[in-house]
């Protein structure tokens, strides 16, 4: 398991680098289509550097804000605080900030950039639906995401995918409205420039799709590892198994969830079909492995 965690950290670094490279490529395509030259490229690099830094520092706040999470009062949510404190003491982790999302659907997520700057948010539905051992299993799963550094790339993905999609959409609208900058002046006499411009345009079209696929690559395998790590933390597999079974059988939807933050939650928070589980489109691009497979894997431990 420790080898998996180490490999997970390496993949996290590569995925974060991949997001940065994609943003640079999108910026370079914009600069090419607007004929900005070397000065424009330097500006692009600076913008990407600043946006990447801000994403690194503030993505957790964005995720919590999008989910309408509020700080968990230590008195009102004493069981929540006590369970997290106990798990953190047992595993030698710093206690993350705790938040609550007022929603009847049982669910939870972790966010942040490292164990010292992390947060866990749970819905009020989770707190009322789960008994103590089940809630402990869910919280151990989320703490495992923090300890395994899954939260860094999962949280950054929220803003990086959004930035890529918005910038690409804005420039595509600009191009199709006829505003091509100086690239129209003599660009047709330079075949290489024309080819690069076409490549840049294609990149802008597909960049949001690439960024989204990178986001989907973040969560699936990490959920299995967080399940296993969480069980190792509580030393009681039946707790998390029972929690996952309740999540599987529940059909309520997290009202504040969206495709931007869906990969953060312990279980797919989007709309489900009563008979087929996640609807067909969501199943094709699901951010989580089937919950039955996760339960089966835990029972085999």
Cβ of 73: how many Cβ atoms within 10 Å? Answer: 12
In a 13 Å sphere around the CA of 21, the CA atoms on its Cβ side amount to 8
CB 16 within 8 A of CB 161: no
The upper half-sphere exposure of residue 287, i.e. CA atoms within 13 Å in the direction of its Cβ, equals 22
**Alpha helix positions (H), the chain:** 2-33, 37-66, 78-91, 124-129, 132-147, 150-176, 191-234, 237-249, 280-284, 291-299
Taken in order 146, 161, 159, 293, is the CA torsion positive or negative? negative
Phi, psi of 114 (to 5 degrees): -165, 170
Count of Cβ atoms closer than 10 Å to residue 9 Cβ: 15
Q: How many CB atoms lie within 10 A of CB 240?
A: 28
Which own/partner pairs from 172-177 qualify as long-range (CB within 8 Å, at least 24 positions apart)? 172/201, 172/204, 172/205, 175/33, 175/201, 175/204
Catalytic residue (choose from 76, 85, 136, 142): 142
Q: Catalytic site residue 142? A: yes
* Distance separating alpha carbons of residues 136 and 143, to the nearest angstrom: 10
Strand partners of residue 272: 278
154: number of Cβ within 10 Å: 26
Alpha carbons 82 and 233: distance in angstroms, whole number: 15
Could you list the active site residues?
A: 142
């Amino acid at each position: 398991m420790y080898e998996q965690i180490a490999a997970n950290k390496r993949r996290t670094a590569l995925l974060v680098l991949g997001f940065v490279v994609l943003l640079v490529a999108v910026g370079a395509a914009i600069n090419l289509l607007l004929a900005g030259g070397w000065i424009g490229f330097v500006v692009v690099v600076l913008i990407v550097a600043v946006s990447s830094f801000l994403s690194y520092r503030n993505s957790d706040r964005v995720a919590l804000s999008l989910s309408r999470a509020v700080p968990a009062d230590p008195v009102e949510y004493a069981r929540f605080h006590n369970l997290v404190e106990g798990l953190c003491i047992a595993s030698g982790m710093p206690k993350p900030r705790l938040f609550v999302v007022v929603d009847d659907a049982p669910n939870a997520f972790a966010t942040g950039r490292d164990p010292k700057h992390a947060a866990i948010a749970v819905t009020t539905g989770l707190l009322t639906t789960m008994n103590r051992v089940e809630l402990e299993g869910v919280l151990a799963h989320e703490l495992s995401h923090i300890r395994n550094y899954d939260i860094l790339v999962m949280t950054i993905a929220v803003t990086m995918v959004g930035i890529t999609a918005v910038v690409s959409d804005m420039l595509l609208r600009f191009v199709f409205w006829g505003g091509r900058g100086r690239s129209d002046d003599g660009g047709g006499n330079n075949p290489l420039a024309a080819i690069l411009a076409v490549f840049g345009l294609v990149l802008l079209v597909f960049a949001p799709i690439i960024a989204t696929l990178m986001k989907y690559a973040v969560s699936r395998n990490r959920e299995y590892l967080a399940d296993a790590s969480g069980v190792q933390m509580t030393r009681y597999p039946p707790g998390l198994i029972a929690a996952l079974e309740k999540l599987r059988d529940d059909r309520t939807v997290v009202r504040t969830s969206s495709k931007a933050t869906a990969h953060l939650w312990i279980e797919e928070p989007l709309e489900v079909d009563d008979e087929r589980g996640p609807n067909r489109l969501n199943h094709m691009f699901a951010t989580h492995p089937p919950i039955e497979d996760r339960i089966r894997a835990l029972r085999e431990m």
